[in-house]
Amino acid sequence: MVKKKIILTGGAGFIGSCFLWKLNREGIYDIIVVDDLGSDAKWVNLRGKRFMDYVHKNDLPGLLESGKLDGIGTIVHLGACSSTILTDAAYYLKNNYEYSRRLAEWAFAHSAKFIYASSAATYGAGESGYGDEEERLPCLKPLNIYGYSKHLFDLWLLRNGCFRKATGFKFFNVFGPNEYHKAEMMSLVCRNFKEAAAGRPIRLFKSHNPAYQDGGQKRDFVYVKDAVEVMYYFFRERRKSGIFNLGTGAARSWNELARAVFAAAGQAAKIEYIDMPENIRPGYQYFTQADISKLRNAGCDHEFASLEESVKDYASYLGKEEYL
């Protein structure tokens, strides 16, 4: 049992609220949720969950640095701007790099465990592969400013020898309950389940890369229930640190994902292909697949559900818009 308080940033967001659910299931409630609810519907993700306090994200660094929050044993930093289509570089760097560095510096100075979210977007087009060894980080070339802002923080930790004190996760394509508020960043499953259940087609991007057929672009899709199990393993194993890929290790195509949605909805597959918007073509990843050998070597032997099993389970929530 973790006896000290936990700060959970992004605690009302998608992965954050699911990790809060996991902590509660393990009997852990001494949690300070940090987020910016604003007018966002993600507040619903907090219903039915137990935590000791809520703090606005803008107030957290000052509260920590002034000593007004005590007894903090762990910071789980999942809060970030996760959109891959915004173009305000300064906003990304302020929220995803500077804010993260500030929290990490406090955690290291106060011997608190620091767990944070990186991203598979840091791998760019995958020219350097998808291995998560720390020495490979300087070789990576993200394709968009979101990926770069995450990469910049990874590099800061590397330069300062901090991976012995921090645990980072390069999340691949996570989907599952509690993502209903994410608008254009919702998964294909969330956006299209009701359409598929009504027998209407799912539209996928055409390929603008001759190596891939339309809808044949591949991603490492990982169910959020699996993601939080891996996170909890490292939360519990406090001496294990470093940066780790968090994916299944098995890339699947968008066509396969769409067919799994139709199967879960009890309908025959109907897929149409549309042109990819020109503004996202330069930063589009045609293939991602986590190398999870480092994860396994760290002793995490969690068995990931198959894509079809995951979509079927998610469908039981989507039909009623239920939450974890």
182 is catalytic: yes
Strands 218-219 and 252-253: antiparallel
Q: If phi over 0 gives left and psi between -120 and 50 gives alpha, with beta otherwise, what is residue 266?
A: left
SS3 of 246, please?
Answer: strand
SS3 of 299, please?
Answer: coil
Number of H helices, E strands in the chain: 10, 13
Phi/psi for 287 (5° steps) reads: -155, 130
Q: What angle do CA 111, 169, 211 make, to 5 degrees?
A: 160
Set 22, 182, 218, 225: catalytic member: 182
Set 99, 130, 146, 232: catalytic member: 146
223 is catalytic: no
The structure tokens 């508020």 sit at 181
Q: Give the Å distances, CA to CA, from 261 to 21, 196, 201, 270, 303.
A: 25, 7, 11, 11, 22
Burial of 92 (0-12, 13-18, 19+ CB in 10 A): buried
The rounded distance, in Å, linking the Cα atoms of 15 and 21 is: 10
Strands 72-77 and 242-246: unpaired
Q: If phi over 0 gives left and psi between -120 and 50 gives alpha, with beta otherwise, what is residue 299?
A: left
CA nearest neighbour of 157 among 168, 148, 170: 168
Amino acid sitting at position 276: M
The rounded distance, in Å, linking the Cα atoms of 154 and 163 is: 9
Looking at the annotation, which residues are catalytic? 146, 182
